[in-house]
Structure 1
């Protein structure tokens, strides 16, 4: 795959010891370990640029190598295969990636990759806070546990305009007189593009309009019950003060936004437990899907609303 993503102007290592390259990657791109065959003397190459809060990296180890990491902590990795092949593993699942394919790794996901001897990759590292800042600026709803991408593999050409955007970013990164403000602007565009092109747990529906009604807010809540929606976020989404939001709920629902949201979550769980056609692996897992982390309190609230424990509802479905 011919690629305009970084050039020799960004060269840090050329035909170097793979372990020296790995040490550098640990410092700048992501914590990992590599395993090399006992035979041969592979020579690694690395191009690297810091770009505002992003890191741009082009890497080849020059030999077969296995790259492993328990997790990437607070960063996302977007990896594009330029040459060769890479075997991705997660548990029992595995996939062989070829040139032009893209791998997206969330911060809490373990990494287990096996590179072919001729493998070359472009890696984009994004900090978690960049994606969160974009969500907040756009007034998109993100879960309390953080932004997560729901799909790991893509064909780069299927992501409209993304390849060209990365090429522009790399060109700007290698400019003779880089401008930080321009770099920050491009970084936000990259994060925004990823959040719109790739499936995530972020809801990009905004409530803002000239006249936000209770029905619109209630519909928004109903469509996003698995998200961690708090009153402050809901007020920002509706472009109204917190006091006005509370008054709207008092007039239309006779309760506070927090209690209303909790009740709707419980109603959805109750419907799932009562429906014999709805697969439920465990009550605990279902409760946590809707944000109930204190299971004792969840059971109390459930019984207060429906007069029985969740386990009783599940038993009655048969």
Structure 2
């Protein structure tokens, strides 16, 4: 098989050596030959984008593989030839070239590979996947870990599209130079792999009821406003605020728009309220408006003064002189 031909990690019939080399890429695991007289002719090819590993693995003999818990990463295993019985927790999946598996990282994993089974295995760090999903889909996760279905149809639908994408990347990684030698492109395609996997396997994207969506939006806006107003001195950005309230950047921006506001507008108004509090307790001549505005993070004096008057019905100099 020519896939990843320029990235061979090993080819060996030594059981201990194979176990060690595969374990270095994935995790320590049990590896045994299945059946009397079984032989091993294992090979592994590996190439990393940035944090995602693209691997081709075949054992050349019937084997039992027992990684146990994966914990910190996920594997998407697509048989290109042969078949494998995959047990993830209490679920058994008979995997074949039309049916990939994504074992749950928190459930014990055991597998029995046929002698002719060769798999394309995509390794994704769990923390990277969850961070990207939260950033782009926000409320789709809430505070729950990602929980994919353990089987994925790669013969049709979204699953087929995802598998074709992974295969396309694997083929390109053999080219010299490869598109994915570029750090920015590699990062972008990693995001595409992760987000499209989530879309294919989570069921996310089904229409949400308007009432439920509005309740979630109001909750996030209220939490965001409370954070800004109570900790106005902090260097808020929309990304940081979204993480603070447990949603994504785009979801929070949309929620502000639905409420008839914007993040930048609310942050500016909170800083103006702080500036007003300072001006009200300051003696005339002890401070000036420009210095108070700068202290409160208000960079554009003219625009800030205009908004101040709209909010409070007086100029900032009037507040200071009272």
Question: Normalising by the residue count of structure 2, what TM-score does the alignment of the two structures yield?
Answer: 0.61
1:129 partnered with 2:127: yes
Q: Distance in 1 between matches of 2:52 and 2:171?
A: 14
Q: Do the aligned residues in 2 keep the contact of 1:231 with 1:242 (CA within 8 Å)?
A: no
Q: How far is 1:92 from its partner?
A: 5.2
Instruction: Name the structure 2 match of 1:171.
Output: 171
Q: Distance in 2 between matches of 1:160 and 1:90?
A: 22
Unaligned regions of 5+ residues in structure 1, if any?
208-212, 223-228, 245-318
Q: Distance in 2 between matches of 1:69 and 1:132?
A: 22
Cα RMSD (Å): 3.4
Instruction: Name the structure 1 match of 2:11.
Output: 14
Instruction: Name the structure 2 match of 1:32.
Output: 29
Instruction: Name the structure 1 match of 2:97.
Output: 99
Structure with the bigger percentage of helix: 2
Instruction: Name the structure 2 match of 1:76.
Output: 74
1:198 partnered with 2:205: no
Q: Distance in 2 between matches of 1:49 and 1:91?
A: 29
Unaligned regions of 5+ residues in structure 2, if any?
220-241, 257-262, 267-322
Q: How far is 1:233 from its partner?
A: 2.8
Instruction: Name the structure 1 match of 2:40.
Output: 42
Equivalent of residue 154 in structure 1, options 130, 152, 155: 152
Instruction: Name the structure 2 match of 1:312.
Output: none
Q: Distance in 1 between matches of 2:172 and 2:201?
A: 24
Instruction: Name the structure 2 match of 1:257.
Output: none
User: Residues 220, 45 of structure 1: CA spacing in aligned structure 2 closer, same or farther, 3 A cutoff?
Assistant: same
Equivalent of residue 120 in structure 1, options 115, 118, 121: 118
Instruction: Name the structure 1 match of 2:61.
Output: 63
User: Residues 31, 204 of structure 1: CA spacing in aligned structure 2 closer, same or farther, 3 A cutoff?
Assistant: farther
Q: Distance in 1 between matches of 2:213 and 2:189?
A: 34
Equivalent of residue 183 in structure 2, options 159, 180, 190: 180
Q: Which has the larger radius of gyration?
A: 2
Q: How far is 1:134 from its partner?
A: 1.8
User: Residues 59, 205 of structure 1: CA spacing in aligned structure 2 closer, same or farther, 3 A cutoff?
Assistant: same
Q: Distance in 1 between matches of 2:193 and 2:247?
A: 26
Q: How far is 1:191 from its partner?
A: 0.5
Q: How far is 1:28 from its partner?
A: 1.3
**Per-residue CA shift, 1:194-233, capped at 9, x if unaligned?**
0111126x688899xxxxx9985326689xxxxxx99813
Structure 1 SS opposite 2:27? coil
Instruction: Name the structure 2 match of 1:233.
Output: 246
Instruction: Name the structure 2 match of 1:266.
Output: none
Q: Do the aligned residues in 1 keep the contact of 2:138 with 2:247 (CA within 8 Å)?
A: no
User: Residues 235, 11 of structure 1: CA spacing in aligned structure 2 closer, same or farther, 3 A cutoff?
Assistant: closer
